[in-house]
Structure 1
């Protein structure tokens, strides 16, 4: 599946805002909700919540997409985001907020790089792993 490149940047922008809110409030429940959003995106490009918002509300108001990217690196990045958001939620909810703050801060850095500069750390990790270990075979 190919994605409009503007969709993941929109999602990263929303994610950046959510992660800032998590860091400002120390909310483990908000971190858990973001983890669920990431998990849905890791499972399928069609279930990326912020991607759905982009496709339904934003994309119809923009010019037709001219650049596309494969969904696999983006889905991998969503999986990485899930790990960080889940660790943040666990840290906040278990009474170890320093773990929550550190994990959320790392996720925020990655989301901000994508939102502001179009540089997806998780996607780059995917490509490096793909080069190192080759394509998956069934």
Structure 2
């Protein structure tokens, strides 16, 4: 499945705003909502994520077709990584381990900001690196003796 990278940047921009609000307010409930958004994108796919649906309905029709599409697997994995950080942050804030909430939220914010502003998807790059490493390991095992 292919996705419009502009939609990924849109979602990252909204995520950036939400995560800044979490850091300002310390709201574990708001972070839990963001974790749910990440979870939906991870389980159902980025095309069906809440921010993606907003992009498809309101933004994409005004922009016209994308000049390029990208594989949906790397952004989906990136959403899974975001989910992990948001979940840890939610637990941190909920258990009044504020340092854990702030730290996990800040990591997720950093990744979202990089994607929103520079189009650099940290989770996508992790996905591609892991794929290269696993392919290399598999090919090394298949070498005949």
TM-score, normalised on structure 1?
A: 0.95
Give how far 1:23 is off: 0.3
Name the residue aligned to 1:38: 38
Name the residue aligned to 1:100: 101
In structure 2, C-alpha distance between the alignment counterparts of 1:45 and 1:97, rounded to whole Å:
30
Name the residue aligned to 1:132: 133
Moved >2 Å (runs of 4+): none
Encode CA deviations 1:37-65: one digit per residue, 9 max, x unaligned: 00100112232111111001100111221
Kindly report which structure 2 residues correspond to 1:1-138, keeping only aligned pairs within 5 A, or say none: 1-43=1-43, 44-134=45-135
In structure 1, C-alpha distance between the alignment counterparts of 2:68 and 2:97, rounded to whole Å:
43
TM-score, normalised on structure 2?
A: 0.91
Bigger radius of gyration among the two: 2
**SS of corresponding position for 1:134:** helix
Alignment gaps of 5+ in structure 1: none
Encode CA deviations 1:7-57: one digit per residue, 9 max, x unaligned: 000000000000000000000011111001001001122321111110011
Alignment gaps of 5+ in structure 2: 137-145
Give how far 1:124 is off: 0.2
